[in-house]
Amino acid sequence: MPEPNIRRATKDDARSILETHYLAVHETAAADYPGEILDEWSATVDEARIAAFLEKFSDNREGELIYVAEVAGKIAAFGAIVPANNELRAVYVSPRFARQAIGSKLLAHLEAEAARYNMTELNLDSSLTAERFYLANGYQIKERGQHRLRSGRTMQCVHMYKIL
């Protein structure tokens, strides 16, 4: 199992983070959702998308903390927490690093950081794809629901939580 180096993201990571997101959604999650949902969940990585990400990253009104997991100097996964909302915002692993415990190691790091930021629980909307991953990492199901995308389309999700 590769031992990832986990650190806070910087703006130089923007393209790699978005590419990781794109591949995780369009390959790993592809069996669980229709194509039009995948396209909206993660659009093609172009300069406009990178610029939009960077704008949100530097503005960061929500206080989102993004972390990346590197293997041999390349980004293999990223994840995020939002302390003000007690929220786990994301965990995405590049498909070529799937099932090598990188997601679990990143998640453990996010939980330790969450505790350091005085969070006592983490809440998230899990994709159907990630449900078993979160269950395997000690998360519990609150209820099944729908996550609303910007277009108004909805995708099935699972509201989950973990007390830290």
Ligand X SMILES: CC(C)(COP(=O)(O)OP(=O)(O)OC[C@H]1O[C@@H](n2cnc3c(N)ncnc32)[C@H](O)[C@@H]1OP(=O)(O)O)[C@@H](O)C(=O)NCCC(=O)NCCS
Among candidate residues 116, 113, 162, 128, the one with its CA nearest the CA of residue 142: 162
Binding to ligand X by residue 98, rule CB under 6 A?
Answer: yes
What would the two tokens of residue 162 be?
């973990």
The residue whose two tokens read 């505790």 is 115
Interacting residues with ligand X between 17 and 76 (CB under 6 A): 24-25, 28-29
Nearer to ligand X, 18 or 91 (CB): 91
**From the list 99, 142, 144, 148, which residue makes contact with ligand X (rule: CB under 6 A)?**
99
Q: Which one, 24 or 82, has the nearer CB to ligand X? A: 24
- CB 7 to ligand X: min, Å: 17
Q: Name the minimum Å distance from CB 107 to ligand X.
A: 7
Task: Pick the closest to residue 6 from 83, 76, 63 (CA basis).
Answer: 76
Smallest Cα–Cα separation from 56: which of 118, 92, 9? 9
Residue 16 contacts ligand X per CB under 6 A: no
C-alpha torsion 53→62→133→74, nearest 10: 40
Number of residues that bind ligand X (CB under 6 A): 22
Query: Quick one: which of 129, 147, 153, 161 contacts ligand X (CB under 6 A)?
Result: 129
